[in-house]
A and B are shown apart, each in its own frame.
Chain A
Amino acid sequence: MDFFSAGLGLACLSFVLGFAWRVHGRPGSRLPAASEQDRRKSGLAAGLVDIILLRRTLRTGKLRWAGHTLLILGFLPLLFLHAMDGIVTRPLFSGYEPTLEPWQSARNALGLAALAGLGLLVWHRGRRLRAFSRVQDWALLGLLAAVLLTGFVLEAAKMASPADFERMVADFFPEADGDEFIALQAHWARENGVRFERFLPTAPEILEQGRELHEDRCAGCHAPTATAFASRTLADALPAGAVLPRTMAPIFWHLHVGLAFLVLALLPWGKFLHPLASPANLLVRGGRWDSGFPAAPPARNLALEACTRCGQCSLHCSVAPSRRVLGNVDILPMDKLADLRSWLDRSLDGARLADLVEGSHVCTECLRCTQVCPAGIDLQDLWISSKAALSEAGRAGVDGEIRKRTAGEWAHELASRRLGKVGASGSGLADHAESFWGCVQCTTCTGVCPVVAVSTDPQRDLDLTPQQIMNYLRMGLKAQTLGARMVWSCTTCYKCQEHCPQGVPVADILYELRQLGARTLRHRGKP
């Protein structure tokens, strides 16, 4: 089996196996069903327009749109008409030869367009998305660029290659005598840029003989190599008299074809799938910008795969300021989506699961990521359903963790720890005696509290009342208050604080205790 068949076979095998692995298990079915499914029909036509015109990509920036458009307009024809010419172009166009016009100049123009598109995308990523970029983002851009560049170098090397010339003459003009051979060589060296090792005659009559032989024997399959304008320029850029090693064209053929196979083999992995998954998702979304349709498991599976890692959601995320303060990458949609995918595959635990849970709770469900996503992913639906799924799995965020144990159990665990103050310096109200000096235990705070008022037995339902919490803190018993239901079921209405005759900032202190609880949990298990 030769390199081409073996490479193609392996690449296809990797693609099929990888794709099967990627879609196996249908993680979308592990998310709870949407409460009310929107049954409005999606617009197939609108979805097609989104795909063909890259309409959603345009909304995220002209540069990204131009990059993608150039890349797709260049790459797709190359894929079908050039890479797959044996099964597409040859049957469709009688007399097709890759070395004839218009194929030669078209190939160069398409390759340059694709390279220009890649250039714009690399520039955009470096300028705006560097912070979000991982290896696979650069790898995809790099690999495509490598396929295109090796293609140009291969074409240039073949043009200049005396070995290829000799092989062609042996195949198609085997009866050539010595003089004819030299005349043809002279013509090809002069007109088509072949670089022969030895000096060739330049006499006009010999060149004329070479031209006639060329017309007779070669021109049927060979347009002037100058029509492959980019590759010919590349070949001519070598210093006059320089001769390429005879192995150069074969080496670049293996590189070019091998890299193309590598891209095919990698297609199911990571964001390499997005050229397939994103359009599929756009089609399913049918041009819709809102959330909730369709939220069936197959649509969610597709949504989970369609991310292009373009970073637009993270750039526009409403809680990006919280991400800057808290430092958790899973607060931003793009990374959260990847970790959600892993969690649904049951391969996420420990600190990264804690990050996912926190990110999931910091999200305000503002819909912006869904509206900005150029792949049309209904992220909003994924966030709402995954928050419910995480809670179902016992990961309900800080509140859920605290409520797993009683106030007494928390007091026992926290008693031996230095809890610290809130915020890096924090106003530390709960630690300052000044905060409580005025408290005379008059019970006004408890009396006006609406949460206490709806409880028939505050001691049972809430562990402590607001004024008891103030008293505990006055005595330095912060650990005893941190798990109290009153702290976590405070509705933050600030009546206690407004009504306190002594100006004790009761509600601010309860806020502070919750912030301290959140920080204590965040650092639990971390050194």
Chain B
Amino acid sequence: MRYAYFPGCKIAHHLPAHGLSVEAVCDRLGIGLERTEFACCGYPVRHESQDAAVYSALRGLAQAQSLGLDLMTPCKCCFGNFQHARYQAAQDENLMQRMKDLLAEEGLPFPETVRVRHLLQVLDESLDAVSQAVTRPLRNLRLACHYGCHALRPAAVTHFDDPLGPTIFERVAAATGAVPLPWELRLECCGYPLRGRDESISDLLMAKKLASAATSGADVLATACTYCQLQFGQGEGRTIPAVLFSQILGLALGLPPEDLGLAPDAPWLGRLEKE
């Protein structure tokens, strides 16, 4: 398996641990990552301009298609915008033509065939191999899996999982030996999209989710999206720690915490040792 790796804009500066852990995990699992210089997926500019958001996404997809690879991203918002852009273009002839013209000016094809995969989907597709690669099952770890909106909804556009009763995250999480728990607000928004726009509502949404995750009895809130992790990282220490799923999987694969961008003294890591 080889994918055009699309880390998204926020990893390099704001969340390097995500990139580090995703690359370490893929390396261990033999998932090949082709690194090419991608631009933004277009999700952040979607509030301002449909054309800019759609073009940014299609350009990235066209780059992946030119490499002859499917695109893989660890970010739900990137994933969602890629799917959304293609859907929008297919819905609107004029938009499609404008996009084709812009792509043609850069010598790029319209990306008809390239598939967009989220890291969870890639792992889910080879779940047996993932289970077999686990050398350190995390049996003591109880997880509250947080889904992230932009991959899940609208399902008619994103085709990620059942929008009302998704199971993909729990399936993949269970492969690490950890115990995913049901919890009330697992499909709700983390609130990051309102950062810098409506801080008070963003804070309220985050606090509500963290409280819900904490009452489920989970040890950590597991995320699989750069933005969600950035959001919950701001609530660090309040109720329940938020941890990137790629880091959790990395531990199960026997990778040392430092290779995953984890502080070796993070309190929740103590859970793994208890019997």
Q: Which residues of A contact B (CB under 8 A)?
A: 290-291, 316-322, 324-326, 358, 361-362, 364-368, 371, 380, 398-399, 422-427, 450-451, 454-455, 488-489, 491-495, 497-498, 505, 507, 511-512, 514-515, 518-519
Contacts and interface: CB of A to CB of B under 8 A. Distances in A.
B50 A454 contact: no
A518 B46 CA distance: 10
B154 A494 contact: yes
Contact of B13 (A291, A492, A497, A512): A291
Contacts of B188: 450, 493, 495
B198 interface: yes
Interface string B192-226: 01101110011011001000000000000000000
B47 A518 contact: yes
B63 to A, nearest CB: 11
B92 interface: yes
Contact of B95 (A290, A371, A425, A488): A425
A376 B208 CA distance: 42
B192 to A, nearest CB: 8
A518 B193 CA distance: 17
Contacts of A492: 149-150, 189, 193
30 contacts: A291-B13, A319-B40, A320-B39, A321-B40, A321-B55, A322-B52, A324-B102, A326-B48, A326-B52, A362-B48, A366-B9, A366-B10, A366-B13, A367-B13, A398-B48, A424-B51, A426-B95, A427-B91, A450-B189, A451-B205, A454-B201, A489-B194, A489-B198, A489-B201, A491-B194, A491-B201, A494-B153, A512-B50, A515-B46, A518-B48
B59 interface: yes
Contacts of A398: 47-48
Nearest to B37: A316
Leading 6 A-B pairs by shortest Cβ distance: A494-B153, A493-B189, A366-B9, A364-B9, A425-B94, A367-B13
Interface of B: 9-10, 12-14, 37-40, 42, 44-52, 55-56, 59, 88, 91-92, 94-95, 98, 102, 149-150, 152-155, 163-164, 187-189, 191, 193-194, 196-198, 201-202, 204-205, 208
Given A317-B39, A495-B188, 15 more contacts: A316-B37, A318-B40, A322-B45, A322-B55, A326-B48, A365-B13, A366-B9, A399-B196, A424-B94, A425-B92, A427-B95, A450-B205, A451-B205, A489-B197, A518-B47
Contacts of A320: 39
A99 B239 CA distance: 81
A361 B195 CA distance: 13
Given A318-B9, A324-B102, A426 B154 contact: no
Contacts of B208: 450, 454
Contacts of A321: 39-40, 42, 52, 55-56, 59
B51 A423 contact: yes
A491 B205 contact: yes
A319 B88 contact: no
Contacts of A514: 47-48
Q: Which of A358, A398, A492 has the most CB of B within 10 A?
A: A492
Q: Which of B9, B38, B59, B204 has the most CB of A within 10 A?
A: B9
Contacts of A512: 50
Nearest to B88: A427
B73 to A, nearest CB: 14
B191 A491 contact: yes
A295 to B, nearest CB: 13
Contacts of B197: 399, 488-489
A154 B37 CA distance: 48
Contacts of A399: 47, 196-197
B153 A493 contact: yes
Contact of B14 (A365, A498, A515): A365
A376 B116 CA distance: 35
A366 B39 CA distance: 9
Given A318-B40, A322-B42, A493-B189, A364 B88 contact: no
A498 B52 contact: no
Contacts of A450: 188-189, 205, 208
Nearest to A292: B13
A291 B205 CA distance: 30
A491 B205 CA distance: 10
